Amino acid sequence: MAGKQKKALTYTLPEEFHVFGFSRDLLAWYDGQKRDLPWRINRDPYRIWVSEIMLQQTRVETVKPYYQNFMEKFPTVEALADAPEEEVLKAWEGLGYYSRARNLQSAAREVKTRYGGVVPDKPDEIATLKGIGPYTAGAILSIAYEKPEPAVDGNVMRVFSRLLLMTDDIAKPATRIKVEHLVRQVIPEGRAGDFNQALMELGALVCVPRTPQCLTCPVFDYCLARREGVQEELPVKGKAKPPRPVNLQVAVVRRGDRVLMNRRPEQGLLAGMWQFPMVETDADTPSVKQQTLLDGLSSRFGQDAEVLEPLMEVQHTFSHLHWNMEVWLCDWIDGGELPSDARFVTLEEISSLALPVAHQKIVEKLKSDR
Partner DNA sequence: AAGCCGGGGTT
Partner DNA sequence: AACCCAGGCTT
- CB nearer to DNA: pick between 13 and 37: 37
Minimum distance, C-beta of residue 208 to DNA, in the bound complex (Å): 6
Minimum distance, C-beta of residue 285 to DNA, in the bound complex (Å): 26
Minimum distance, C-beta of residue 175 to DNA, in the bound complex (Å): 9
- CB nearer to DNA: pick between 137 and 311: 137
Q: Report the C-alpha gap between 177 and 133 in whole angstroms.
A: 13
Minimum distance, C-beta of residue 361 to DNA, in the bound complex (Å): 9
**Which residues would be at the binding site for DNA (CB under 7 A)?**
37, 51-52, 55-62, 94-99, 103, 130-137, 139, 153-155, 158, 172-174, 197, 200-201, 203-204, 208-211, 237, 239-242, 244, 268-271, 316-321, 356-358
| Residues assigned a catalytic role | 52
With CA atoms as reference, report the closest residue to 186 among 151, 211, 218, 215: 151
The torsion angles phi and psi of 234, rounded to 5 degrees, stand at -120, 150
- CB nearer to DNA: pick between 196 and 249: 196
Q: Report the C-alpha gap between 309 and 306 in whole angstroms.
A: 9
Burial tier of 307 (Cβ tally within 10 Å: 0-12, 13-18, 19+): buried
Q: Report the C-alpha gap between 344 and 136 in whole angstroms.
A: 40
- CB nearer to DNA: pick between 286 and 367: 367
CA distance readout (Å), 105 to 68, 73, 258, 269: 17, 13, 32, 18
Minimum distance, C-beta of residue 291 to DNA, in the bound complex (Å): 27
- CB nearer to DNA: pick between 70 and 332: 70
Amino acid at position 56, single letter: Q
DSSP bridge pairs for 315: 324
**Strand pairing report for 321-335 and 244-255:** parallel
- CB nearer to DNA: pick between 138 and 307: 138
Cis amide bond preceding 173, omega within 30:
no
CA distance readout (Å), 323 to 210, 241, 315: 29, 16, 6
Integer-rounded Cα Rg, in Å, for the chain is 25
Q: Report the C-alpha gap between 268 and 247 in whole angstroms.
A: 18
CA distance readout (Å), 287 to 17, 291, 296, 304: 68, 6, 14, 16
DSSP bridge pairs for 254: 259, 331
Q: Which contacts (CB < 8 Å, 24+ apart) does range 192-195 have? A: 192/142, 192/146, 192/147, 192/148, 192/149, 193/43, 193/142, 193/143, 193/144, 193/146, 194/27, 194/30, 194/31, 195/23, 195/26, 195/27, 195/142
- CB nearer to DNA: pick between 147 and 330: 147
Minimum distance, C-beta of residue 62 to DNA, in the bound complex (Å): 6
Minimum distance, C-beta of residue 233 to DNA, in the bound complex (Å): 11
